[in-house]
Homo-oligomer: A and B are copies of this chain.
Amino acid sequence: MPEDGLPDCALPERAFGRLAIVGLGLIGSSIARAARANGLAGTIVAIDRDAGVIGRVRALGLAEEATQDVAAGVAGADLVILCVPVGAAGAVAAAMAGALKPGAIVSDVGSVKAAVVAAVAPHLPPHAAFVPAHPVAGTEQSGPDAGFATLFQGRWCILTPPEGADPQAVARVRAFWEGMGSVVETMTPAHHDLVLAITSHVPHLIAYNIVGTAADLETVTQSEVIKFSAGGFRDFTRIAASDPTMWRDVFLTNKDAVLEMLGRFNEDLAALARAIRWDDGEALHALFTRTRAIRRGIVAMGQETAEPDFGRRGPAPQGTAPPPLAGREP
């Protein structure tokens, strides 16, 4: 592990002198790697309450400093990014708030935004700026060993700055994510939560659900399910292998939007089941033709390659990705 970060004068203008990352799981450890690879931080401070994780951070050389003490870790940081399950964000914010330096920017990576803003914002001192963020990226792996520096390359990152947020702080967080290769979009927390409910949360919920249903059958054995999973089921199991704690928190904190979208999904599914029961082949064919067209739209917009990847990789949205910064030797 390097003993010290680069002096600030050697960093590009958009870099932060001192970057504190709270929670070194898949996302947090990927930020550490990507920030270093792209020269976006002078000193990286890794904070995790789990001593085992801190041990792995040290062994992997992911940060200049590593500590279990969140208040000590964020002291003096220019940017603090919370990479903990959304259900834990409020408690972490409370624990660190008193140690934030004037002008510090606090951000996060939560898949839910309204609940995180409500949980975190009240704890922050007026001299800190809060710029919530959500990188739409991940894999079904977890932990500090699972991260990698290119996870955010060509992927969307959604910022949900509160009304009246300091424009300079928002611009710096945007530049940070663009520096890691992301394409940045801004929207309100409430709208973010609706969009993600349909594009991510409900898909995860029904994937978890069908894998559970398949596991509980008496008429089909688990080994048959596994054997013949290539017919479509297999990729649902990939989604359904995502981190249980993270996803529990997502569903509990984005409850309204998830239940609203799920209600619509259920209505539509009931209509589809009815069409099957009553031999309404025309209705089925019409839906299946329409969904095919939507897929073509996704391919046409450059949002998909020939390889499905559950959002693990994927091409840069055409013409919008910023050029990556030159890498910096670790």
Please list the residues of chain A having a beta carbon within 8 angstroms of any beta carbon in chain B: 87, 111, 136-137, 140, 155-156, 158, 185, 191, 194-196, 198-217, 219-220, 222, 224-242, 244-245, 247-249, 251-252, 255, 258-259, 261-262, 264-266, 268-269, 272-273, 276-277, 279, 281, 284-285, 287-292, 294-298, 301, 303-304, 307-311, 314, 317
Contact = CB atoms under 8 A, between A and B. Distances in A.
B140 A290 contact: no
A299 to B, nearest CB: 9
B208 A225 contact: no
Contact of A303 (B207, B226, B310): B226
Count copies of this chain in the complex: 2
Contacts of A249: 281
Given A206-B210, A308-B309, 8 more contacts: A198-B225, A206-B269, A212-B268, A217-B264, A229-B298, A235-B235, A251-B276, A258-B276
7 contacts: A198-B213, A209-B272, A234-B298, A240-B291, A248-B281, A262-B273, A308-B310
Contacts of A252: 276, 279, 281, 284
Contacts of A156: 227-228, 230
A250 to B, nearest CB: 10
Contact of A212 (B205, B240, B258, B290): B290
Given A203-B236, A284-B251, A311-B232, A198 B214 contact: yes
A276 to B, nearest CB: 5
Q: Which 4 A-B pairs have the closest CB atoms?
A: A200-B231, A230-B311, A244-B288, A241-B295
Given A214-B198, A234-B303, A288-B247, A205 B295 contact: no
Contacts of A194: 219-220
B213 A225 contact: no
A300 to B, nearest CB: 9
A154 to B, nearest CB: 10
B196 A203 contact: no
B136 A208 contact: no
B307 A309 contact: yes
B295 A140 contact: yes
A209 B311 contact: no
Contacts of A258: 276
Contacts of A245: 285
A240 B228 CA distance: 19
A295 B212 CA distance: 11
Contacts of A317: 227
A136 B233 CA distance: 12
A208 B240 contact: no
A213 B268 contact: yes
Nearest to A280: B252
Contacts of A277: 255, 259
Q: Which of A191, A194, A199, A298 has the most CB of B within 10 A?
A: A199
